[in-house]
């Protein structure tokens, strides 16, 4: 496949800047061709001006057209074969099955949002009928629904080159709600990003959508992202990545003359609480599940289980022994990039040097730095050390976890209470555990977006009831999710029409409800008239 390395400003290709960078294959250390042009300010400005122009046209299109457009993007991506898979694999080091799975998920997400838009009830229509005779004041006719915001800046994630990048969940949700998207491609997979951007450009053409609806910018430096977030035409920001990166964007957006929402998903340690009866009943099964969850994708998931909390005792000793065997057998795996590998090594080094923390297990074979490999590692410490060292609760992105030994249920609660916001928290229970550790669930409810019972946090189902979010620092906005249909709510806001004539109202709010969507009419949910 011939890649051009340029930025997409709507349908135009542009490589005005002289700063060119390359992707690298983490598995071989090879530099991958071609070079990609770092976007310059006037290209970013142009992308946003085109987006703003396209917005007025796009948001007025009937839902069926928006849905067909999302389906078309899904079709285009589906039809991309070997050249896409090969480039993803080269840029990420991910095995074939992972690439195929992520592609399927990306296509599924686009179709899910197409269906959501086609069905239409997502606009949360509410109608209150007029009461002209009411005393002392007449009640006006009031009709409310959600409308799109305008150009959305989406930042591609390093670890999901497809599902959370150029045509990932945020882009799909933004487009579904009626917004244009300006995507900042992640610099570790610019080739993958270009292939997907071409697919979207193709869909824009085939569906006769306004060309400024989608743009994609390359950038390795922070300036590109910051300029994008500070641009007055940008109306919201979606980001998946590090706490440092997400917070920088949040701060830039909050300091704007007109602040805008930033949905940054910044990961977490996703604590697992292994309660005593669970360990007594099925230590082996839990050790196997943990090892799999921990090492999945070389531990490069936001939901990677980086913390394990359990009561001291024979069950725990046995559990750690089983986990040790499994982790030792687990071969080192290629990480996404050399900076990520180095950061992982640094994080592990920090744990290792902390007094009171010891290595309980590590992949037996040595990782090959030339293949950007990392070993799986299990650390172990006690509750006291953990509570005294807040840095031990910080995420280390990669296949490591820390087991914290507690000597009482009160210790378990203390550790739980010490945690900051998490995407997930899991508890493994056996007979009687839930009763004995009754206070744990309420503590975790206040600290996590998703609570998992007898399961592992990796594997985030894409569906209406998924919530992939959580209190800060897991995200910058605990009210929103980056997975599932509710993600569309990130990119919409309510508007209310008072006393409008029927034919001046959006279809969704007219009396006859021709699309049959669910609406709250005079306080009652109905698919009927109103």
Residue in 13, 20, 142, 207 binding a second copy, rule: CB under 8 A = 142
Q: Segment 463-522, which members bind a second copy (CB under 8 A)?
A: 463-467, 469, 471-473, 476-479, 481, 486, 489, 492-501, 504, 518, 520
Q: How many CB atoms lie within 10 A of CB 57?
A: 14
Whether residue 302 lies in the annotated active site: yes
Q: How many CB atoms lie within 10 A of CB 207?
A: 17
Shorter beta-carbon distance to a second copy: residue 310 or 521 = 521
Contact indicator for 430, 275 with CB cutoff of 8 Å = yes
CA-based nearest residue to 271, from 5, 85, 452 = 452
Adjacent-strand bridge partners of 126: 144, 520
**How far is residue 172's CA from residue 151's CA, in Å, rounded to a whole number?**
13
Cis preceding linkage at 220, omega within 30 = no
Shorter beta-carbon distance to a second copy: residue 180 or 190 = 180
Contact indicator for 441, 409 with CB cutoff of 8 Å = no
Q: Segment 248-277, which members bind a second copy (CB under 8 A)?
A: 250-251, 254-255, 258-259, 261
Phi, psi (5° rounding) for residue 123?
-75, -5
Residue in 16, 28, 78, 121 binding a second copy, rule: CB under 8 A = 121
Contact indicator for 22, 33 with CB cutoff of 8 Å = yes
How would you classify the pairing of strands 125-128 and 181-184? unpaired
Torsion of CA 45, 47, 51, 53, to 10 degrees: 70
Shorter beta-carbon distance to a second copy: residue 61 or 220 = 61
Name the active-site residue from 38, 43, 302, 429: 302
Does residue 147 belong to the site contacting a second copy (CB under 8 A)?
A: yes
Whether residue 281 lies in the annotated active site: no
**How far is residue 364's CA from residue 503's CA, in Å, rounded to a whole number?**
71
**How far is residue 266's CA from residue 468's CA, in Å, rounded to a whole number?**
11
CA-based nearest residue to 210, from 72, 61, 43, 109 = 61
Name the active-site residue from 53, 91, 198, 265: 265
Does residue 132 belong to the site contacting a second copy (CB under 8 A)?
A: no
Q: How far is the CB of 333 from a second copy (least distance, A)?
A: 20
Q: Segment 342-361, which members bind a second copy (CB under 8 A)?
A: none
Shorter beta-carbon distance to a second copy: residue 60 or 364 = 60
Q: How far is the CB of 410 from a second copy (least distance, A)?
A: 16
Q: Segment 168-197, which members bind a second copy (CB under 8 A)?
A: none
Q: Segment 414-433, which members bind a second copy (CB under 8 A)?
A: 420-421
Q: Which residues are part of the catalytic machinery?
A: 265, 302
The residues that touch a second copy, with contacts defined as CB under 8 A, are 56, 60, 121, 126-128, 137, 139-140, 142-144, 147, 149-150, 250-251, 254-255, 258-259, 261, 420-421, 434, 441-442, 445-446, 448-455, 459, 461, 463-467, 469, 471-473, 476-479, 481, 486, 489, 492-501, 504, 518, 520, 523, 525
């Amino acid at each position: 496949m011939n890649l051009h390395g340029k930025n997409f400003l709507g349908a135009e290709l542009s490589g005005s800047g002289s700063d060119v960078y390359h992707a690298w294959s983490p598995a071989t250390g090879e530099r991958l061709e071609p070079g990609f042009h770092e976007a310059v300010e006037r290209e970013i400005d142009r992308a946003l001006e085109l987006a703003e122009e396209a917005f007025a046209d796009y948001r007025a299109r009937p839902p069926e057209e928006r849905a067909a457009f999302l389906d078309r993007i899904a079709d285009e991506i589906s039809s991309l074969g070997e050249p896409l898979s090969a480039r993803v694999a080269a840029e990420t080091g991910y095995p074939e099955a992972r690439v195929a799975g992520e592609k399927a998920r990306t296509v599924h997400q686009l179709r899910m949002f197409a269906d959501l838009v086609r069905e239409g009830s997502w606009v949360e229509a509410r109608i209150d009928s007029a009461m002209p005779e009411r005393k002392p004041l007449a009640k006006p006719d009031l009709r409310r629904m959600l409308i799109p915001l305008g150009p959305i800046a989406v930042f591609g994630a390093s670890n999901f080159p497809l599902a959370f990048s150029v045509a990932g969940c945020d882009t799909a949700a933004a487009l579904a709600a009626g917004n244009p998207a300006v995507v900042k491609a992640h610099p570790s997979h610019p080739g993958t990003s270009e292939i997907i951007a071409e697919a979207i450009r193709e869909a824009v053409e085939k569906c006769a959508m306004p060309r400024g609806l989608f743009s994609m910018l390359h950038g390795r430096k922070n300036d590109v992202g910051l300029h994008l977030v500070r641009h007055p035409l940008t109306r919201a920001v979606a980001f998946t990545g590090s706490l440092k990166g997400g917070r920088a964007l949040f701060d830039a957006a909050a300091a704007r003359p007109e602040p805008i929402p930033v949905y940054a998903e910044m990961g977490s340690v996703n604590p697992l609480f292994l309660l005593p009866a669970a360990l007594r009943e099925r230590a082996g099964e839990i050790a196997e599940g943990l090892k799999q969850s921990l090492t999945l994708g070389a531990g490069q998931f936001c939901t990677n289980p980086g913390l394990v909390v359990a009561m001291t005792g024979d069950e725990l000793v046995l559990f750690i022994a089983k986990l040790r065997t499994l982790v030792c057998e687990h071969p080192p795996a290629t990480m996404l990039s050399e900076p990520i590998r180095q950061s992982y090594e640094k994080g592990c080094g920090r744990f290792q040097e902390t007094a009171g923390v010891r290595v309980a297990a590590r992949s037996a074979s040595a990782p090959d730095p030339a293949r950007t490999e990392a070993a799986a590692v299990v650390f172990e410490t006690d509750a006291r050390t953990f509570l005294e060292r807040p840095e031990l609760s910080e995420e280390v992105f990669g296949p490591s976890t820390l087991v914290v030994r507690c000597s009482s249920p009160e210790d378990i609660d203390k550790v739980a209470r010490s945690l900051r916001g998490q995407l997930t928290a899991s508890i493994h229970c056996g007979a009687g555990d839930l009763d004995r550790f009754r206070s744990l669930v309420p503590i975790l409810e206040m600290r996590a977006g998703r609570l998992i019972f007898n399961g592992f946090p990796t594997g985030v189902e894409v569906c209406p009831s998924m919530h992939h979010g959580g209190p800060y620092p897991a995200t910058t906005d605990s009210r929103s999710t980056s997975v599932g249909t509710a993600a569309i709510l990130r990119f919409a806001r309510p508007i209310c029409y008072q006393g409008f004539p029927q034919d001046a109202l959006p279809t969704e709010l007219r009396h006859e409800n021709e699309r049959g969507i669910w609406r709250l009419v005079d306080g009652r949910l109905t698919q009927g008239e109103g």
